[in-house]
């Protein structure tokens, strides 16, 4: 297989993996607080000027109307039928929504891609594992941290293939 094609396919798969990671376990489940600039009626809700407004990004990324089986980690949901990466899916909101979306989105995605490539490139003869076995890490977020989702500490080891 042509080296360019291999690199392209790995890039597509890696982008899908990163996107699904951001969807599945987003960093800021309620986004960044905003302030209403004027009174506004949203369906049956009246939002007064100067009210703090939060976008429930976690609810969007777990909405079964937008994501089939939202509680399952599946990077393939970001690939079309031709295995091309799709980044602009409805409900994909890891960097916020609206006009005030995170300014660092492109830099963060580039950094995540670079870090993942460097990690995989530097460990080709190893597999990542949990010392106490598969499925033993507690990945549920710490309930004491309100705005940011962070799993409880756990260890990962590298095992020689």
Which residue's entry shows tokens 């690939």?
79
102 is in an annotated binding site: yes
Measured between alpha carbons, how far is 74 from 71 in angstroms, rounded to an integer? 9
Q: Determine contact, residues 29/149, Cβ cutoff 8 Å.
A: yes
pTM: 0.76
Q: Of 105, 83, 107, 103, whose CA–CA distance to 92 is shortest?
A: 105
Measured between alpha carbons, how far is 65 from 159 in angstroms, rounded to an integer? 40
Q: In a structure prediction context, what are the per-residue pLDDT tens digits for the chain, which is 161 residues long? A: 555 555 555 688 889 999 999 998 887 888 888 899 999 998 999 999 999 988 888 889 999 999 999 988 899 999 999 888 998 899 998 888 777 788 899 999 999 988 988 888 888 888 888 888 887 777 776 666 655 666 677 788 888 88
């Amino acid at each position: 297989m042509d080296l360019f094609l291999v690199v392209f396919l790995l890039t597509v798969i890696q982008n899908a993996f990163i996107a699904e990671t951001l969807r599945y376990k987003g960093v800021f489940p309620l986004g960044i607080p905003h302030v209403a600039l004027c009174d506004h009626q949203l369906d049956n809700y009246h939002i007064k000027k100067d009210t703090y407004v939060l976008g429930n990004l976690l609810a969007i990324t777990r909405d079964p109307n937008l994501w089939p089986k939202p509680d399952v980690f599946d990077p393939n949901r970001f690939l079309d039928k031709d295995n091309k990466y799709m980044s602009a899916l409805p409900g994909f909101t890891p960097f916020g929504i609206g006009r005030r979306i995170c300014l660092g989105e492109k830099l963060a995605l580039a950094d995540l891609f670079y870090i993942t490539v460097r990690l995989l490139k530097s460990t080709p003869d190893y597999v990542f594992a949990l010392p106490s076995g598969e499925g033993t890490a507690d990945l549920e977020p710490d309930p004491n941290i309100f705005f940011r989702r962070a799993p409880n500490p756990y260890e990962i080891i590298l095992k020689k293939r």
